[in-house]
Amino acid sequence: MNNYQKAIENSNIVSKTDINGIITFVNDEFVRLFEYSKEELLGKNHNIIRHPDTPKENFKALWDTILNKQVHKATVKNLSKSGKTVYLNTTIIPILDEFGNIFEFIAIRYDITNEVMLQKELKEKQKIIFLQSRMASLGQMLANIAHQWRQPLTELNLTLFNLKKAFESKNQKEFDNFYNSSKNLISGMSNTIEDFTNFFTPQKQKERFLLNLSINEALKILNRVIENEKINIKFNILKDLEVFGIKNELTQVLLNLINNSKDAFIQKNIEQKEINIKTYIKNNFIYLEYLDNAQGVNKELFDRIFEPYFTTKHQSSGTGLGLFICKIIIENSFEGQIMHENIENGLKFTLKFPKIV
């Protein structure tokens, strides 16, 4: 038993308290980590290392568990004497006497501060990349608005000229026709702004929504681009499939895929441009398949397409963030997967979502 005790104390951060949480023992690792002497710790309440940010309900859950003679496991945020934050994987074990009553608690801990800080650093980097991606998307959206508005602005200019002529000739019927036509054009342009505004509205609350609504939203935003580039889009969509996540972010994924296809069509001089979108259920998962005929990706680049800042486009055309963001969105916002494969004459993306129970 002495050998086991020494092994635990030498490889972990160990403390003991009485039933009221008063410290009765700390090992050398505990002293080193929290920067108190043993004399400063023994006889003190264990909350001497409590971090003020830790919610009170966490401690209630802890005491409810151990006073019920059960083992409590958690990742705990603590504070050293000098004010240093320490993250520990903590296991607290109630020790019972011969009558089954608790007479002390033993806490065995493992320091994971470096791992937690690394995760936080990665999350901060992800936030920066997301912001860069959002700015890139904004630039792309402004270009799409310009596409959407070019034709109606030309038509509106001509209609206003004809409206003036009808007014001068006092032809009431023609005047009314041109007036109504102008109103319809302006209304259409206003709807375009509404579509783009809705896309950029922050929406971080996850919700259930129909998969086809996100598909329709992406196509609505890019409809002028699709028409101008003469891209033929074919559908095989089940209209009642629901997924759980953030609708705007899935729309962003689809916008990225369509824009990537459009750029590849242009870059590779594809004459018959085709995109196929299909949704289905298989093995209790929901799938969205996206295929184009833009000749796929070179083998040497195939495994790198989800890397941040990697792009096959000219610097003026792409940031290399699109597919990286797509992967983050599908994995984080939807707890799903995004897979890719070269197919005959093109590239296929498969988006896999958990089925809502």
- Report the pLDDT value the prediction gives residue 139, as an integer from 0 to 100: 62
**C-alpha–C-alpha distance, residues 305 and 331, integer Å:** 16
| Mean pLDDT value across residues 301-317 | 66
Cα four-point dihedral sign 331, 337, 342, 344? negative
Strands (E), the chain: 13-17, 23-26, 72-79, 85-96, 102-111, 207-210, 231-236, 242-245, 273-282, 285-292, 337-343, 346-354
Give backbone dihedrals phi and psi of 183, rounded to 5 degrees, phi first. -60, -40
Strand partners, 104: 95
* Per-residue pLDDT reduced to its tens digit, 31-72: 999 999 999 999 999 999 999 998 888 889 999 999 999 999
Q: In the chain, how many H helices and how many E strands?
A: 11, 12
Place 199 in a pLDDT band, splitting at 50, 70 and 90: low
- Most confident stretch, 154-163, 214-223, 303-312: 214-223
User: Which residue bears the tokens 């945020």?
Assistant: 77
Place 326 in a pLDDT band, splitting at 50, 70 and 90: confident
DSSP string of 188-210? Answer: HHHHHHHHHHHHHS---S-EEEE
Q: What letter would DSSP give residue 165?
A: H
- Report the pLDDT value the prediction gives residue 140, as an integer from 0 to 100: 62
* Per-residue pLDDT reduced to its tens digit, 231-258: 999 999 998 999 999 888 898 889 889 9
| Mean pLDDT value across residues 15-27 | 94
- Provide Rg for the chain, Cα atoms: 31
Please state whether beta strands 273-282 and 231-236 pair in parallel, antiparallel, or not at all (unpaired): parallel
Distances (CA, A) of 338 to 103, 109, 270, 332, 335: 53, 37, 25, 11, 10
Question: Is the pTM higher than 0.85?
Answer: no
Distances (CA, A) of 218 to 4, 7, 131, 195, 250: 62, 60, 20, 10, 9
Q: What is the mean pLDDT of the chain?
A: 84
The helix (H) or strand (E) run that includes residue 252 is helix 247-267
Burial class (CB in 10 A: 0-12, 13-18, 19+), 194: exposed
- DSSP 3-state of 107: strand
User: Which residue bears the tokens 């259409």?
Assistant: 188
Assess whether pLDDT exceeds 90 at residue 4: no
**C-alpha–C-alpha distance, residues 251 and 195, integer Å:** 12
- DSSP 3-state of 72: strand
Q: Which domains are present in the chain?
A: 2-111 (3.30.450.20), 116-191 (no CATH), 202-357 (3.30.565.10)
CA angle 46, 50, 55 (to 5 degrees): 125
- Report the pLDDT value the prediction gives residue 315, as an integer from 0 to 100: 46
